[in-house]
Amino acid sequence: MKKSSTNETDRFESGAKEYAAYLETPEGRLRTDLAFANLEDFLPQPQPGTTLRALDVGCGTGATGIRLARLGFQVTLLDSSASMLNLARRAGEEAGAGDKVKVMAGDVGQMAILFEAGTFDVIVCHNVLEFVDEPIALLRDMARTMRNSSSILSIVVRNRAGEVFKAALLRGDLVDAETNLTAQWGQESLYGGKVRLFTPPDLQDMLKSASLAAVADRGIRVLADYLPPKISRDADYAPIFELEHKLGSVPELAAVARYTQFLACAPSDRKDRANPRRIKRESSPE
């Protein structure tokens, strides 16, 4: 897989503080909190005498990886941006999880070199596939580093349908909304430049090509971006989160969310060396 271009690396390096600030906004918190809540339903259960290992690919500020560390995982945070890694290292120390967090500088295109096969029980790859040259190649590299069929991979990507609704409902741009119906690329408002767009069927096919089996898919931020001004995203964060968590598991609503999350497992013919993951029984929202 090709490495990230110099321009992409530069924009993440120079935009680290802006990205950290975005994660503190209600929109950023929802993206992180909802994705982690969905992942928690599929995490492996620790057993005496075993160490569960997790990898956060393109970790950014390390928000998700550090949460895993606080649950007892030994976590590796991988990113090509020194500024992002400095923020992640500081966040891990402040969370009291520094002894469980390893910060590693490296491009996601180097995964085959950086990590041995069968290393990780959990891999997080949130909002990274949008920026790489060959998403399927990265998926294959991640599948290779998963320990066994009990390992879980969490993917979050920009959903094309969400770009349609964003253009129409937030900007009132009907021409752009129609264009986005078939667009392969969108515009990244935080960093600038292009961002790859996905559909759930696209991602499902990519997972299959990488010999990964999807076990669940969720929508993230179905309607929070379009709430009227009378609803405070800050003051009403808890009920918004609870509603979004329910909406994201309804297929017809998840299909138009701003982001799509897939949870996938490693090939079933891989020898089990870890513990079965805990899978929460699916249920319909109340």
* pLDDT averaged over every residue in the chain: 88
Statement: the pTM of the whole predicted model exceeds 0.95: no
Of 195, 139, 136, nearest in space to 163 by CA:
195
Q: Which range among 39-53, 77-91, 144-158, 254-268 shows the weakest confidence by mean pLDDT?
A: 39-53
Rounded distance, CA 17 to CA 267, Å? 38
pLDDT at 284 over 90: no
| Cβ-proximal residues to 162 (8 Å cutoff; 6+ apart), any chain | 221, 256, 257, 258, 259
Q: In this predicted model, what pLDDT tens digit does every residue of 86-142 receive, in sequence order?
A: 999 999 999 888 899 999 999 999 998 999 999 999 999 999 999 999 999 999 999
pLDDT score at 18: 86
pLDDT score at 101: 94
Contact present, 45 and 278 (Cβ < 8 Å): yes
**Residue 259 DSSP label:** E
pLDDT score at 5: 47
CA 78 and chain centroid, separation? 13
Q: In this predicted model, what pLDDT tens digit does every residue of 8-66 receive, in sequence order?
A: 555 666 678 888 888 899 999 999 999 999 999 999 887 777 889 999 999 999 999 99
Rounded distance, CA 86 to CA 78, Å? 12
Domains and CATH numbers, the chain: 6-158+187-265 (3.40.50.150)
Rounded distance, CA 79 to CA 64, Å? 13
pLDDT at 196 over 50: yes
